[in-house]
Amino acid sequence: MRHRFIFVLLTAAMVSALVSGCGGADTPEAGGAQNQEQTLETPEPAEAKDTVVVAMGPTSEPESGFDPAYGWGAGEHVHEPLIQSTLTVTTPDLSIDYDLATDMQVSDDGMVWTVTIRDDVKFTDGEPLTAEDVAFTYNTVKESSSVNDFTMLKEASALDDTTVEFQMEKPYSIWPYTMAIVGIVPEHAYGPDYGEHPVGSGRYIMKQWDKGQQIIFEANPDYYGEAPKMKQVTVVFMDEDAAFAAALAGQVDLTYTAASYADQTVAGYQLLSYKTVDNRGFNLPAIPASTDADGNQVGNDLTSDVRVRRAINIGIDREEMIRNVLNGHGTAAYSICDGMPWYNDEAQVSCDPDQAAALLDEAGWKTGSDGVREKDGVKAQLNILYSSGDSVRQALAADTQNQLKALGIDASIEGVGWDTAYTRAQAEPLMWGWGAHTPMELYNIYHTIDGLAEYSPYANETVDQYMDEALAATSLEESYDLWKKAQWDGTTGVTQEGDIPWIWLCNIDHLYWAKEDLKVAEQKLHPHGHGWSIVNNVDQWYWE
């Protein structure tokens, strides 16, 4: 008998009922009344243990549904879309492999990508997936995507049933990384409500979504790949405290957790720790203070001196931060792309307070009687912003504050909302979180737009040129070298001996409590966001 693979998403209040198999009233269809009492459909018991209950944070529920045009599979929480297939996938070492695609070619000028796809794939409504669907998907996300930038794409067109051509507005060598997060939707079944009723060709079928309570997926019985080992997956949305309590009660098999819980003991569970490029760091405005046309402050007179920025970068003890703020669960960060194929290890520095002090002295900032440095009668002062409600960023900001004071910089910290944070970061350091499986993260942070970088005022024509050349490269391997040169080419770049307009502190390990006999498949470096990435390969998990 063919097993039914079910992927369930529900609220914390329903975990116990689900795990114990309790039933109740019928569940309304997706998009129906949200306040009615809900009951989950209880799957038939499996012959062997092949079910798992996973807890995620409440922000992991996709508000806009499962439509790739509105963020599913992309944006801050990059993951494989599960419901839809993608043309490519990233491997554990973050190189490119094929999913739907069987071959891809790029023209010498980088302006045309030609991709051949499988001819044996069907959507779950029985219709074949063709190049027309691929072209339709990409033209749709170009026109309507609210998350990813598709301005580099001019048009996608089907040459025949299995060949799609992407005509670009400009060369874009890292297109294969974009193809790894765009799930293919069916042209014949796509409409305004697609996000709530998605049809795909991937590993799972979404059967039901009761918003704020549960989402039920069944694995695709006609999936063209290897059948999942884990036949039922239940995802529960809980805050950190509730998730930890659920683990203590044995109600979940795997739950995300924070470093603050890492020193606890949970009987029958082990603490899993996965490396990430989930960076935390702060910007240092690299131009002198001024006011823009809208009256907003831009630039900072203290951090506009590169010697001050270099002093801060080597004056920070990252390992101390990891011990004290993350309870040891993190790695030192020196760039936005540590551990990626395009990372330049010239970014790495050692903590050297003496050299930091020498740089500040050289820049004219002399220590006053109160321990605060001064120059021309002006105190060395910084106000470090962090996102209100984010305890980790607040703690990192406070640790930075203390370490800067040891260097003679009088630092304060302030929690702010994102409604004002972006604007204020043009003149003040802000504790950010970044990290993605694409070199565009470098581009987005350091490349100029209308003369200055977007998130913090900075400009370097040589760095821009390297990144432009990287996008125009005819191979990924060639582009990697150019991305590395943008970081440091021996003369200039964004690292310590260059302009150092951002200070990267740590990559936060993603932590999970997991039952001891649950075997989680090998994980890639997780990107920014502690959510869906863990279940990228949930179909490969198993119980020992």
Give yes or no for residue 11 having a pLDDT over 80.
no
pLDDT for res 434:
94
- d(CA 384, CA 389) in angstroms, rounded, equals 15
pLDDT over 90, % of the chain: 69
pLDDT for res 157:
98
User: Could you give the 3-state DSSP secondary structure of residue 42?
Assistant: coil
Arithmetic mean of pLDDT over the chain:
88
> 52 or 78, which is more confident?
52
Confidence of residue 407 (pLDDT cuts 50, 70, 90): very high
Q: Give residue-wise pLDDT tens across range 281-311.
A: 999 999 999 999 899 999 999 999 999 999 9
Which fold does the domain 1-61+211-276+509-544 belong to in CATH? D-Maltodextrin-Binding Protein; domain 2 (3.40.190)
Relative orientation angle of helices 476-487 and 461-472, to the nearest 10 degrees: 170
Which segment of 301-305, 325-329, 330-334, 474-478 scores lowest on mean pLDDT? Answer: 474-478
Confidence of residue 30 (pLDDT cuts 50, 70, 90): very low
Give the pairing type, strands 381-387 and 410-416: parallel
Which segment of 22-26, 191-195, 225-229, 434-438 scores lowest on mean pLDDT? Answer: 22-26
Do 77-195 and 279-507 show the same overall fold? no
Q: Give residue-wise pLDDT tens across range 353-367.
A: 999 999 999 999 999
Long-range contacts of 356-361 (CB under 8 A, 24+ apart): 356/310, 356/311, 356/312, 356/314, 356/315, 356/407, 357/311, 357/315, 357/407, 357/408, 359/307, 359/308, 359/310, 359/311, 359/314, 360/307, 360/308, 360/311, 360/407, 360/408, 360/409
CATH code for 279-507? 3.10.105.10
Confidence of residue 81 (pLDDT cuts 50, 70, 90): confident
The C-alpha angle with vertex 230 and arms to 42 and 38, in degrees rounded to 5, equals: 25
pLDDT for res 521:
95
**Burial grade of 100 (CB within 10 A; 0-12, 13-18, 19 or more):** buried
Q: Give residue-wise pLDDT tens across range 423-455.
A: 999 999 999 999 988 999 999 999 999 999 999
pLDDT for res 260:
85
pLDDT for res 230:
84
Which of 148, 149, 119 lies closest to 134 in space, CA to CA? Answer: 119
- d(CA 499, CA 269) in angstroms, rounded, equals 46
pLDDT for res 469:
96
pLDDT for res 231:
82
Which of 85, 64, 84, 88 lies closest to 76 in space, CA to CA? Answer: 64
pLDDT for res 319:
97
Q: In one letter, which amino acid is 86?
A: T
The C-alpha angle with vertex 445 and arms to 530 and 527, in degrees rounded to 5, equals: 20
Q: Give residue-wise pLDDT tens across range 447-498.
A: 999 999 999 999 999 999 999 999 999 888 899 999 999 999 999 999 999 9
Give yes or no for residue 145 having a pLDDT over 80.
no
> 236 or 490, which is more confident?
490
Q: Cα–chain-centroid distance for residue 510? A: 12
> 447 or 82, which is more confident?
447
Give yes or no for residue 165 having a pLDDT over 50.
yes
The answer to whether 279 touches 466, Cβ cutoff 8 Å, is no
Confidence of residue 154 (pLDDT cuts 50, 70, 90): very high
Q: Give residue-wise pLDDT tens across range 488-539.
A: 999 999 999 999 999 999 999 999 999 999 999 999 889 888 888 898 898 9
Q: Report the DSSP beta bridge partners of residue 164.
A: 115, 158
Domain ranges of the chain: 1-61+211-276+509-544, 77-195, 279-507
pLDDT for res 448:
97
Confidence of residue 389 (pLDDT cuts 50, 70, 90): confident
Which of 439, 499, 528, 483 lies closest to 345 in space, CA to CA? Answer: 483
Q: For residues 311-318, give the mean pLDDT.
A: 98
- d(CA 211, CA 334) in angstroms, rounded, equals 40
Q: Cα–chain-centroid distance for residue 300? A: 29
What φ, ψ does residue 254 adopt, rounded to 5°? -150, 135
Helices first, then strands: H and E counts in the chain? 12, 29
- The DSSP annotation for 290-347 comes to EE-TTS-EE--TTTTSHHHHHHHHHH--HHHHHHHHSTT-EEE--SSSTTSTT--GGG
Give yes or no for residue 12 having a pLDDT over 60.
no
pLDDT for res 251:
94
Q: What architecture is domain 77-195? A: 3-Layer(aba) Sandwich (3.40)
| Per-residue CA distances from 470 to 77, 163, 165, 261, 345 (Å) | 25, 26, 22, 42, 18
